[in-house]
Amino acid sequence: MTLQHITAMACALLATASAIAQNYPTRPIELVSPTGAGGGSDLVARMVADIVAKEKLLPQQIIVQNRAGGGGAVGQTYVAAKRGDPYIFMQAATTILSVPIRTGLDVGLDKFTPLGAIGVDLNSLCVAVDSPYRTLKEFIAAARDKPNTISVGITSPGGNAHYLMHRLEKLTGARFNKVSFKSGAESVTATMGGHIQATAENLGEVLGQVELKKLRLLGVPSAQRLAALPGVPTLKEQGYDIHAGALRGFVAPAAIPRDTAKVLEDTLAKVYKSAAWRDYMTRNMYENVYMNSEEFARWLTDQKPELTQYLTEMGLALKK
């Protein structure tokens, strides 16, 4: 094959890729939520799909599918297997790193194309309104005096809620019984029903029940006290320097066409700038953070050493 033939083939491929990008998408795009319905990841995915539809940001709709299980491993494995397919993406951030560390599955960062991130969904620490623990101090004292008798709901093993409770244990000497659920909604329901004593899930998942006086916030792991919750102290104010929250990031499978990845990245940027998303962040008390694809990829790479360390400390890292 001559150089002329190779050049002609390369030009043809580029022209085809460009035509695909110009017409993309020509059918609905699947957005995977790696948790159950009603959880924080699910709510975000559905909000993004709704904004894309209402603002007509794409010529096709986004269809949300829940693929829960294994602390994100089920959804992650499913999306990673779609290498090169631009018609699927997933709501995820640190689970992209933690799932392979925990399970040994070959579904790490190299299996995905980072697209961007559009906010931080803070965690919380909540008990039922009739709980005997009225303050964080009382809650921690009980878990220190009677180790592993206070059950706290989390979703992903090694996720943000798990990290929050691990850090509290390290700083206080308390020991909690951490109970895994498929979604934050299940954790919240179990707390209100008295099946567990507390939930450490995302703030947006508990606010409605706090307002209805069914749950009581013991503290929020934010950088500073939230203006909308002036009566709720941060964990840092109470002596525990912990910041915990889910970065709401999005990834597509590896090896999708660069031009179509850019379409998805730009769509997420438009979602972030929309009045509807700004209102959602305000209502759910998100920390206002935006990352483009490059910034998000760099953030994920930077997180890996610290994440590996604390998963090892918690005994969750797969022993080699």
Q: Give the angle 229-231-233 at the CA atoms, nearest 5°.
A: 90
Give the model's pLDDT for residue 4: 57
C-alpha–C-alpha distance, residues 221 and 125, integer Å: 8
Give the model's pLDDT for residue 12: 43
Q: Are 172 and 219 in contact (CB under 8 A)?
A: no
Give the model's pLDDT for residue 168: 96
Q: What is the mean pLDDT of residues 273-287?
A: 95
Q: What is the mean pLDDT of residues 287-316?
A: 94
3-class DSSP state of 152: strand
Q: What is the mean pLDDT of residues 281-301?
A: 95
- Name the CATH superfamily, with its identifier, for domain 125-219: Periplasmic binding protein-like II (3.40.190.10)
Give the model's pLDDT for residue 36: 84
Dihedral of CA atoms 3, 6, 9, 11 in degrees, nearest 10, equals: -60
**What's the fold here for domain 3-17+28-121+245-313?**
D-Maltodextrin-Binding Protein; domain 2 (3.40.190)
Give the model's pLDDT for residue 199: 97
Between residues 40 and 18, the one the model is more confident about: 40
pLDDT tens profile 184-239: 889 999 999 999 999 999 998 899 999 999 999 999 999 889 988 999 999 999 99
Q: Which residue has the tokens 């997420």?
A: 268
Specify the long-range contacts of residues 10-17, CB closer than 8 Å, at least 24 apart.
Answer: 17/257, 17/258, 17/259
C-alpha–C-alpha distance, residues 41 and 177, integer Å: 24
* Terminal Cα distance for the chain, rounded: 47
pLDDT at 305 over 60: yes
pLDDT tens profile 9-23: 444 444 444 445 578
Lowest-confidence pick of 100-104, 124-128, 253-257: 100-104
Give the model's pLDDT for residue 14: 44
Instruction: For CA atoms 154, 159, 103, 42, give the dihedral sign.
Output: positive
Q: What is the mean pLDDT of residues 127-149?
A: 97
Residues of the chain with CATH 3.40.190.150: 3-17+28-121+245-313
Sheet holding 215-219, edge to edge: 177-180, 151-154, 198-199, 125-128, 215-219
Give the model's pLDDT for residue 184: 86
3-class DSSP state of 133: coil
Residues of the chain with CATH 3.40.190.10: 125-219
The DSSP output letter for 241 is -
pLDDT at 2 over 80: no
Contact partners, residue 298, CB within 8 Å, separation at least 6: none
Q: For all residues of the chain together, what is the average pLDDT?
A: 91
C-alpha–C-alpha distance, residues 301 and 80, integer Å: 18
pLDDT tens profile 155-168: 878 889 999 999 99
Q: What is the mean pLDDT of residues 43-70?
A: 96
Q: Which residue has the tokens 């990245």?
A: 265
Cα–Cα separations (whole angstroms), residue 294 to 22, 50, 68, 99: 22, 25, 27, 22
Cα–Cα separations (whole angstroms), residue 176 to 168, 199, 212: 9, 11, 27
